[in-house]
Amino acid sequence: MINKLLFSVCSTFSETDWDDFKIFVGSRDSVSPRKYLPFVSVLSEYKSDFNGVKNIPAETLFFAAYKKNYSGQTVLNRQTELLALTKEYLENSAYRKNIQVRKNLYAQELLSRNLLDLFLKEKRSGDGYGDFTYSEDDYDFAQQSILFYGAYHQMRKQIPESQEKYFQHSRFLMADLLCKLYRTGQELQIQKYFSLNHGFNPVLEFIGSLRQEEFFENKDIRKDDLFTVPLLRYYLFMAFRHPDNQRYITKALKKFFSKENNFSEYFRTEMYRMFMTYYIVKVNNGESRYYGDLYRLYDRKLKNNLVSDLQRCSYPASVFREYIIAGLKVKKYKWTENIIIKYAPLLPETVRADEVNLAAIRLGFAKRAFEKVIGLVQEHKSRNNTHHLDSMRYKLASLYELGEFEEAYYEIDRAKHFLKYNKNSLPEIQVTYQKKFIDRVLKLLNYHANPYNKDPEMILHSIENDKDRYTMRDWVTEKARALATRRPSKK
């Protein structure tokens, strides 16, 4: 069997990677007594479906490459050596891709050799940092570039120009520090929503000690475009720190929308994700009125064609799923149908069928097409246990809506059996939520089994005052209220 680390690297290679890697290995072969290109060429024959290599003994692959048999130990050694070459190839590939690192390393080398005229010639196309005003990920590069200019002027004995560069560097340094501080603080603040307690938190404590509002309200800061992104980061952090104060999320959205066209696609997508996270936390805490805000964000994001995150969806975490839920919550059924049709093809193939099936199930359930929901559940075959949990829940709810109470009991038995034998392959929180959902539906079913011996007001009270979180809680509560309002009279 091929070395698993070597396999993992090669399985990521694109068509271009294979071509470049063969050239790279060939260049090493020209100065080395050991030749690795024949083996790499054999591996590349499986590039269209590299998983097939797993089932072929490494000795067989080596014989195909070199037309001779090698001992098992020799085959292991040669693969380890080739793995070292893949590391060198990836390092070179990363260097080639990072133009900014290459530029700064080149500038540093010119200055270290005192090649000042060549340094100036290379830099005359521009200052090298003005284009990064709205790009926080480039602040590091901008700082280094400005410092090189400062060093250049200092070496030329141009002290005023050198001091001006160092001042410019201080602005980017401050913007960079603020962005990193508030990005980290925001993540730590979000973690607190999930009961992650790290004890004493130096980042949050430090931020809390700052006179930050006074700083960001300074008129010079507010009119300086370089501090647009730090200001956004500050507003977002404060929104998560004080979720009930709408002032901060409102200011963040206003600032972002006013400058949106200045930002990169990656940054815009990230910002939408942060805004969406804020409102998702709100609705998860029972504040369903914020589904409208979520829907408007999703609609604007998609109209701006910011869809790269769809291509990275995994199951069960999925922005596609969030679009569907928000659309249904605000009863935008046509919009939701269009999302499924237009954007499902962008999803990774590994999750697409399951996501489309679950979206259709949710849409059918929202439109009260319960027979259709049951059909969609029964027709779709998935190996994903999490998807099975989701679809099972909607099938049970649909059976209840149709008054098929006996079949609903059977479905609960199947669900319990599934949870018992698959609990080790499912996230614990999903198992817990499913069990709680089943327990509440059983209360509803047991009432229908013998309504005269059950008090619907007590059932409603226990469900409404239940502090537990579980999926489809709104639906369960709605059904409990229906029982209380339609209590049968005793004969």
Q: How far is CA 176 from CA 183, 227, 234, 344, 423, in A?
A: 11, 9, 12, 37, 45
Residue 58, domain member (yes or no) = yes
pLDDT band, very low/low/confident/very high, at 125 (cuts 50, 70, 90) = low
| pLDDT tens string 35-48 | 999 999 999 998 88
Q: Are 230 and 179 in contact (CB under 8 A)?
A: yes
| pLDDT tens string 320-373 | 999 999 999 999 999 999 999 999 999 988 889 999 999 999 999 999 999 999
Residue 322, domain member (yes or no) = no
For residue 241, the one-letter residue type is: R
Residue 145, domain member (yes or no) = no
Q: Quick one: pLDDT at residue 463? A: 86
Task: Supply the pTM of this predicted model.
Answer: 0.80
- Among the candidates 79, 97, 115, a domain finishes at 97
**Per-chain mean pLDDT for the chain:** 90
Token pair of 136, please? 């926080």
Residues counted in the chain: 491
Whether the bond into 316 is cis, omega within 30 of 0? yes
Residue 293, domain member (yes or no) = no
- Among the candidates 76, 97, 118, a domain finishes at 97
Residue 69, domain member (yes or no) = yes
Has residue 491 got a pLDDT over 50? Answer: no
- Among the candidates 77, 97, 117, a domain finishes at 97
Half-sphere exposure of 432 (CA within 13 A, CB side): 6
Token pair of 306, please? 């910011």
* Token pair 């809390």 in the structure block, residue: 208
| pLDDT tens string 366-413 | 999 999 999 999 999 888 888 889 999 999 999 999 999 999 999 999
Q: Are 357 and 391 in contact (CB under 8 A)?
A: yes
Angstrom distance (rounded) from CA 417 to CA 409: 13
DSSP string, 151-167: HHHHHTT-HHHHHHHHH
Q: Are 156 and 148 in contact (CB under 8 A)?
A: no
Q: Quick one: pLDDT at residue 129? A: 54
- Helix 291-303 vs helix 319-329: angle between axes, to the nearest 10 degrees? 120
Residue 141, domain member (yes or no) = no
331: left (phi over 0), alpha (psi -120 to 50) or beta: left
Token pair of 18, please? 């294979």
For residue 265, the one-letter residue type is: E
Has residue 127 got a pLDDT over 60? Answer: no
Q: Quick one: pLDDT at residue 488? A: 54
| pLDDT tens string 58-73 | 999 999 999 999 898 9
> Biggest alpha carbon distance in the chain?
104
Residue 418, domain member (yes or no) = yes
| pLDDT tens string 186-242 | 999 888 777 677 788 899 999 989 999 999 989 898 889 999 999 999 999 999 999
Has residue 449 got a pLDDT over 90? Answer: no
Domain with 464, as residue range(s), is 380-491
3-state helix, strand, coil in the chain (%, to 5): 80, 0, 20
The number of distinct structural domains making up the chain is 2
Residue 357, domain member (yes or no) = no
